[in-house]
Amino acid sequence: MSTIGKTLSLIVPIYNDELNIRPFYERAKPVLENLPGVRWEIVFVNDGSVDGSLAAILELRRQDQRVGVLSLSRNFGYHMVIVAGLACRDSDLYGVIHVDCEDPPELLAKFREELERGAPIAYGDRSQRDEAAVIVFCRWLFYWINQRIADAPVRLWLAEFLMFTRIVRDAVLANKSTFPFLRAEIGYVGFQAVPVPYFRERRRLGVSHFNLISLAKFAVGGFLSSSTAPLRMILYLSAWVLAGYGFLLAWWRPTLVEAAAVAAICGFLLLLVTLPVLALYIARIYKDGSARPRYVVDPDKTFLS
């Protein structure tokens, strides 16, 4: 029997997912039961749900005390929910999975096998999925760009479906940013990560909380969390604009008024690009510097063993 990872906390983010909670539990429980030598728990992290999610979790808890719920005082956002779940439990192993079963709970057994072989991280490779062509292309573009501009290594097709050791968890939680992005943090900490390919299915119950706009915001957040390339881009863009302006003056030989007008237009266009980028990074610096709690737990709606 393996001595690696005797306890496992499975972190499951929840936001208005009442219909998915029991079906998820019924699929995950037999998988967890069959993990050799593991004492497990399922920790649903309730991100300010306003439907019957909490009641559904408590109904499961009455049947199985290995089910717990950590409730936040309001909606703090998807990645902050994961951080809260990881921080609240003291285990040997940690898993993260969606409740909608698009990521199959059965793959947790494979993750565990990879960790037994010595890998600190095992994750689901999401390169195969049943989605519209435009969404598939946008996801591919996100990973392609992020891999090329990130300041630290980026794991291709890694999302929030994985299992890792306590050492990895502690390293991830050492980042105190108010904009955590688990995919970027896993790449940054630098431990070996083993991909496990699978086909990601469509959601069967409930409604997805993501659309093209929210996915775009999610992608921008990922770029800002993992890269300073947009800031360096300002320098490169400025150099290209100055070089282009000099070439134009030499080729066109405009009057002083025309040259000034072109310079003003180039400067205005450059500001249109640079100011929003600077504003985004400054806003993040301000929020990190304000040192507010990253999340707030609601003790009256939290039930953990």
Does one domain contain both 176 and 87? yes
pLDDT tens digits along 267-281: 888 888 889 888 888
- Residue pair 69/44 in contact (Cβ under 8 Å)? The answer is yes
pLDDT confidence band for 3 (50 / 70 / 90): very low
Q: Which two tokens stand for residue 264?
A: 């003003």
pLDDT confidence band for 15 (50 / 70 / 90): very high
Does one domain contain both 235 and 271? yes
Would you call 180 exposed, middle or buried from its count of C-beta atoms within 10 A (0-12, 13-18, 19+)? buried
Q: Is the pLDDT of residue 190 over 50?
A: yes
More confident of the two residues 211 and 97: 97
Strands 121-129 and 162-165: antiparallel
Does one domain contain both 200 and 254? no
Share of the chain above pLDDT 70, in %: 91
> Which has the closest alpha carbon to 83: 7, 154, 185?
185
pLDDT tens digits along 124-150: 987 776 666 777 777 778 777 877 787
pLDDT confidence band for 5 (50 / 70 / 90): low
Does one domain contain both 25 and 155? yes
Q: How large is the angle between the packed helices 166-173 and 78-88, nearest 10 degrees?
A: 120
> Which has the closest alpha carbon to 37: 5, 10, 66?
5
User: Averaged over 145-164, what is the pLDDT?
Assistant: 81
Does one domain contain both 187 and 278? no
Q: What is the pLDDT of residue 49?
A: 94
Q: What is the pLDDT of residue 212?
A: 63
Does one domain contain both 79 and 158? yes
Does one domain contain both 41 and 190? yes
- Angle, CA of 149, 199 and 186, to the nearest 5°: 35
> Which has the closest alpha carbon to 96: 159, 179, 35?
159
CA atoms of 268 and 179, how far apart (whole Å): 31
Does one domain contain both 116 and 265? no
Q: How many domains is the chain built from?
A: 2
pLDDT confidence band for 235 (50 / 70 / 90): confident
More confident of the two residues 181 and 53: 53
pLDDT confidence band for 204 (50 / 70 / 90): low
pLDDT confidence band for 27 (50 / 70 / 90): very high
Residue 2 is assigned to a structural domain of this protein: no
Residue 120 is assigned to a structural domain of this protein: yes
Residue 171 is assigned to a structural domain of this protein: yes
Domain that holds residue 192: 7-132+151-209+294-301
Q: What is the pLDDT of residue 35?
A: 93
Q: What is the pLDDT of residue 61?
A: 96
Does one domain contain both 38 and 104? yes
Among 23-32, 66-75, 258-267, 291-300, the range scoring the smallest mean pLDDT is: 258-267
Does one domain contain both 156 and 283? no
Q: What is the pTM of this model?
A: 0.82
Does one domain contain both 202 and 267? no
CATH number at residue 47: 3.90.550.10
Residue 145 is assigned to a structural domain of this protein: no
Neighbours of 121 (CB within 10 A): 22
Does one domain contain both 40 and 124? yes
Q: What is the pLDDT of residue 26?
A: 96
Residue 223 is assigned to a structural domain of this protein: no
Residue 215 is assigned to a structural domain of this protein: no
Q: What is the pLDDT of residue 263?
A: 85
Would you call 250 exposed, middle or buried from its count of C-beta atoms within 10 A (0-12, 13-18, 19+)? exposed
The two counts, helices (H) then strands (E), for the chain are 10, 7
Q: What is the pLDDT of residue 177?
A: 83
Residue 273 is assigned to a structural domain of this protein: yes
Residue 128 is assigned to a structural domain of this protein: yes
Residue in this structure with the two tokens 């429980």, named with its chain if needed:
29
